[in-house]
């Protein structure tokens, strides 16, 4: 039965590179290539391995995110009467804004929905990985049964050899044990892959990027504008981009922004109340002074 070299692509690539290096050593031992040629080949293998390493390019991801958002916004504007100029128009704002937590509740709901969607997708992916591990467990059970059968046959052959003088070598039993151990390691590696630090970092970065992208798509296609809702004049394109990034970042940042806005509004209202009270006191004092003069 064929057993895969590894359940992780990175480990498979490392194994392939090791095989190439071993073949180079074999050619040197046979005299097929010189030491200088072997050094060049080893350097080429090392460069190939380093070139295969993939790292997250933050600038490229951010650039791709904004390029996709602007392109989608332009395509969205083609369905409007003003065309691309529709993106730079300032929509009429609401004259009277109520409680921010109430008026921004739909955006919070969208943000929560995006977060739950991403969690569902990654949970499904991880469950599929665990299911693959269960598939590996089935042939392992078959190998266990074959191993027991082979052991019994080996013991019977050994007993026969004791009476006939025939020597029985355990080579085949060793090969079977190695195959079983290799399969068990593959199963354990696959089960632990979702808990590896590399996977967690990759999952976090990818979930943030996809969340921001989905938020921008929803805001642009739905013409959602947080500035418009809270009564702040702003171009439609800027409003949609900011709103998409905020709802795509998750409900946590959304709640923080609502708290900051509500606190600022309360502070302004309090200052207005203080100003009105001071004006009333000044007017009363002016009337008192005027009456005393008369």
User: Are the C-beta atoms of 150 and 175 separated by less than 8 Å?
Assistant: no
| % of the chain exceeding 70 in pLDDT | 54
Does pTM top 0.85 for this prediction? no
The CA distance from 166 to 159, in Å, is 10
Q: What is the pLDDT of residues 134-145, one digit of tens each?
A: 555 555 555 565
Domain stop point among 32, 54, 76:
54
Higher pLDDT, 215 or 132: 215
Answer yes or no: do 101 and 7 share one domain: no
220-236 residue pLDDT tens: 999 888 888 888 888 99
pLDDT for 83-129, tens place per residue?
A: 889 999 888 877 666 777 778 888 888 888 888 888 888 788 777 76
Name the most confidently modeled range: 51-60, 198-207, 281-290: 198-207
Structure tokens at 212: 């921001």
Q: Which residues contact 233 (CB under 8 A, 6 or more apart)?
A: 90, 93, 227
My answer on whether 224 and 114 are in the same domain is: yes
Q: Which domain holds residue 11?
A: 1-54
Both tokens of 132, joined, read 């693959």
Decide if pLDDT at 266 tops 90.
no
Q: What are phi and psi of 223, to 5 degrees?
A: 50, 50
One domain for residues 22 and 68:
no
- 216, 245 in Cβ contact below 8 A? yes
The pLDDT confidence band at residue 159, using thresholds 50, 70 and 90, is low
As for how many domains the chain has, the answer is 2
């Amino acid at each position: 039965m064929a057993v895969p070299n590894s359940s992780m692509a990175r480990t498979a690539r490392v194994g392939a590179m090791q095989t190439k290096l071993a073949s180079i050593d074999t050619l040197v031992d046979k005299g097929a290539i010189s030491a200088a040629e072997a050094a060049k080949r080893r350097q080429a293998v090392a460069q190939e391995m380093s070139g295969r390493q993939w790292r997250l390019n933050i600038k490229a991801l951010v650039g791709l995110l904004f390029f996709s958002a602007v392109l989608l916004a332009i395509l969205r504007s083609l369905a409007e009467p003003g065309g691309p100029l529709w993106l730079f128009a300032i929509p009429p704002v609401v004259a009277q804004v109520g409680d921010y937590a109430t008026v921004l509740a739909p955006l919070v709901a969208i943000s929560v929905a995006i977060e739950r969607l991403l969690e569902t997708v990654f949970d499904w992916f991880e469950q599929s990985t665990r299911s693959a591990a269960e598939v590996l467990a089935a042939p392992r059970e078959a190998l266990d049964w074959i191993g027991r059968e082979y052991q019994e046959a080996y013991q019977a052959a050994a007993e026969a050899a004791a009476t006939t003088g025939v020597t029985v070598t355990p080579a085949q039993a060793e090969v079977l044990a190695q195959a079983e151990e290799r399969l068990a390691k593959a199963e354990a590696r696959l089960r632990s892959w979702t808990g590896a630090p590399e996977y967690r970092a990759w999952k976090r970065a990818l979930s943030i990027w996809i969340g921001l992208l989905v938020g921008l798509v929803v805001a642009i296609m739905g013409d959602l504008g947080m500035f418009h809702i809270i009564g702040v004049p702003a171009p439609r394109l800027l409003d949609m981009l900011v709103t998409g990034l905020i709802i795509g970042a998750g409900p946590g940042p959304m709640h923080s922004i609502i708290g900051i806005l509500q606190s600022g509004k309360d502070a302004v209202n309090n200052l207005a109340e203080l100003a009105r009270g001071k004006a009333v006191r000044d007017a009363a004092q002016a009337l008192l002074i005027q009456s005393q003069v008369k």
